[in-house]
Amino acid sequence: MTGRMTLRDVSVRYGGNQVVTDVSFAARGGEVLALVGPNGSGKSSLLRAVAGLVRCGGSVTCEGRIGFLPQDNGARAALTVTETVLLGRVRALGLRVPAEELARATGALDRLGIADLAARLVPELSGGQRQLVFLAQMLAADPAILLLDEPTSALDMRNQLSLLALLRTLAREAGLLVVVVLHDLNAAARFADRMLVLCNGRLVADGAPGCVLNETILADVYRVQAEVGRSRGDLPFVLPVAALDHVPKDRT
């Protein structure tokens, strides 16, 4: 099933603090959406609202099973990697694990390049390895919508590129809708179809990376002086110059 998502005037409040305000957008399977913005702009809260983990105002409509990967997976249980991935198929499991379910778990590990970790205990793994294990668990559940909160934060450069390329392939070939929170604007520009920019809890830009990434957005949203260039593939890339608060007046 192809995933679909529609948000209308979504707001999130924690106590007296409004962290997301009137966010609206629609997306469908086959797209990779990069949710970007400075720290504290409401990215994680918006993702959790879509996943149904926090109460929100407005409306969230999702068609298709949702897979959600938070920043902190809290992996403390003494389970092996394979056992952890099989938890993604808990609805299909009985007292014995069918061969097809074990094959599905193994396939998910293979696709992420971590099949060699299958017998390892999850708490013994590095943070980056655990991120990949929990992503494999999510993929084994056959979601139509993937919500990923900074999935590359603990990964080295090679694994970051491999993971983001896989997410793009899943969107293209399997029709998944992928919404991923990223801090690396260059990675977002390379792998995302759309960039949604949050600032102070509000959606301030939504469009193709080439339209969204510009010096004005970077100054207004991130408070940095930066140059935006073009790669050989005509993709935008950001070259930070200085924090605006520290730039001498004659250079602003």
- Kindly state whether residue 242 falls inside one of the protein's structural domains: no
Note the pLDDT of residue 75. Answer: 55
Ramachandran sector of residue 157 (left: φ over 0; alpha: ψ -120 to 50; beta: rest): alpha
Q: What is the pLDDT of residue 46?
A: 97
**Could you tell me if 57 and 152 lie in one domain?**
yes
- pLDDT for position 198: 98
CA distance 131 to 153: 9
Residue 38 and residue 87 in one domain: no
Q: Mark residue 223 as left, alpha or beta (left: phi above 0; alpha: psi -120 to 50; beta: remaining).
A: left
Return the pLDDT at 84.
76
Summarised one tens digit per residue, pLDDT across range 87-98 is 766 554 444 567
What is the tally of structural domains in the chain? 2
**Domain presence at residue 198:** yes
pLDDT reported for residue 76: 55
Identify whether residues 20 and 32 lie together within a single domain.
yes
Q: Give the ranges where the chain is alpha helix by DSSP (H).
A: 43-50, 81-86, 99-111, 127-140, 157-174, 185-191, 209-212, 215-217
Whether residue 86 sits in one domain with residue 59: no
Same domain, 125 and 150: no
Domain boundary residue among 91, 111, 141? 141
- From first to last of its 252 residues, the chain has per-residue pLDDT tens of 678 999 999 999 999 899 999 999 999 999 999 999 999 999 999 999 999 999 999 999 999 999 998 886 655 566 777 777 777 665 544 445 677 778 878 888 888 888 888 888 888 888 888 888 888 888 888 899 999 999 988 888 988 998 899 999 989 988 999 999 999 999 999 999 999 999 999 999 999 999 999 999 999 999 999 999 998 888 899 998 999 874 444 433
What's the confidence (pLDDT) of residue 72? 67
Indicate whether 8 and 47 sit together in one domain.
yes
> Each residue of 8-29: b (16+ CB within 10 Å) or e?
eebbbbeeeeebbbebeeebeb
Answer yes or no: is 249 within a domain.
no
Note down the domain range covering 135. Answer: 76-141
Cα–Cα distance for residue pair 27/206, rounded to 1 Å? 11
